[in-house]
Amino acid sequence: KQEVTQIPAALSVPEGENLVLNCSFTDSAIYNLQWFRQDPGKGLTSLLLIQSSQREQTSGRLNASLDKSSGRSTLYIAASQPGDSATYLCAVRRYQAGTALIFGKGTTLSVSS
């Protein structure tokens, strides 16, 4: 059974710091992996989607990597800002496309000014 783990559960950093969020999964047979952002009481916003054949994706200050063989992904946030404060969720889609996502519990990030 696929399990997704995110470490750390919470993280507090001062503004301007670079940081890394970690995600691990137990079954390497995945179709793709996504990173989402969730603000309190809100829905999810997709940040980056990495297909199983890709190694990384970048969007602005965000960079996500994928090492399928070791079952790991990282989300790198450069020059953090208070507006980055949110919960970040990692999710994997099993090899069959069209099926649902399996989520980690998330990392809650707080960036202080």
Partner 1 sequence: DGGITQSPKYLFRKEGQNVTLSCEQNLNHDAMYWYRQDPGQGLRLIYYSQIVNDFQKGDIAEGYSVSREKKESFPLTVTSAQKNPTAFYLCASSIFNSAETQYFGPGTRLLVL
Q: Which residues bind partner 1 (CB under 8 A)?
A: 4, 9, 31-32, 34, 36, 41-46, 49, 51, 89, 91, 97-106
- In single-letter form, the type of residue at position 65 comes to S
| Closer residue to partner 1 in complex, CB, 8/14 | 8
Q: Output the smallest distance, CB 28 to partner 1, in A.
A: 17
Closer of 14 and 64 to partner 1 (Cβ): 64
- For 38, 87, 88, the CA distances from 101, given in Å and listed in that order, are 16, 17, 15
By beta-carbon proximity to partner 1, the closer residue of 83 and 100 is 100
